[in-house]
Amino acid sequence: MRGPMKRIIIIFICLFVFNSFGFAQERERNSWISNFPDNVNLPLNAFEIDKIESAYDDKAFLKKIYSSKALMKEFKDILRNRVKIEQENIKDISSTPLLSSVKFLGNEKLFPRKFIVNNFNPLLYQFNFNSKIKKIYRVDGTNYLIIINPKILK
């Protein structure tokens, strides 16, 4: 196999490799772009503002959050879509990791760790909101589950 046939095979291999590399780059390039539901375009409500401000008391950081459309969408997505609280009355959830195993970031004097379903602030905990898989935690001594859904990526 000499001459023109060898060149054709080399060209074919190069085209195949570059073509494969190009598609791999395309998939990887968009793997970090979030696909948000339409509800993140609505303004923050008072309850959401309270959650953000109680989690971040640094005025400079709060100003950065409120002035960045991208950060606002991330926070709205977390608060509106990705953190769910469900009560499990059928399945055995005793092996589910406990909420107390997640680092609490809040000031316990201002925000006691007492769990109140309608007032739970996920921003006060060091959850991995960038995980690619669903995370589930059981509230200690209850049958409540806190479900952290992964981001929806483009």
From first to last of the 154 residues of the chain, give the pLDDT tens digit: 566 665 656 665 655 555 555 544 444 545 567 788 899 999 999 999 999 999 988 899 899 999 999 999 999 999 999 999 999 998 899 999 999 999 999 887 777 788 999 999 999 999 999 999 999 999 999 999 999 999 987 7
pLDDT at 25: 46
Please indicate, yes or no, if residue 26 is contained in any of the structural domains: no
AA letter at 152:
I
**H/E segment holding residue 136:** strand 135-138
- pLDDT score at 1: 55
CA distance 70 to 54: 20
Q: Is residue 27 in a domain?
A: no
Tokens, residue 100: 């107390």
Opening angle at CA 28, ends 27 and 29, nearest 5: 95
Is 20 inside a domain boundary? no
Q: In degrees to the nearest 10, what's the CA dihedral of 11, 12, 14, 20?
A: 160
Instruction: Please report whether residue 95 resides in a domain.
Output: yes
Tokens of 154: 């483009």
126/90 Cα distance (integer angstroms): 28
> Where in the sequence is the domain holding 42, given as residue range(s)?
34-148
The answer to whether position 12 is within a domain reads: no
Q: Is residue 14 part of a domain?
A: no
- Predicted confidence at residue 26, as pLDDT, reads 46
Domain count for the chain: 1
Residue at 46 is within a domain: yes
Asked if the structure places residue 88 within a domain, the reply is yes
Tell me, what's the pLDDT at 6? Answer: 59
Buried-exposed string 92-116: b where 16+ CB fall within 10 A, e elsewhere: eeeeeeebeebeeebeeeeeeeeee
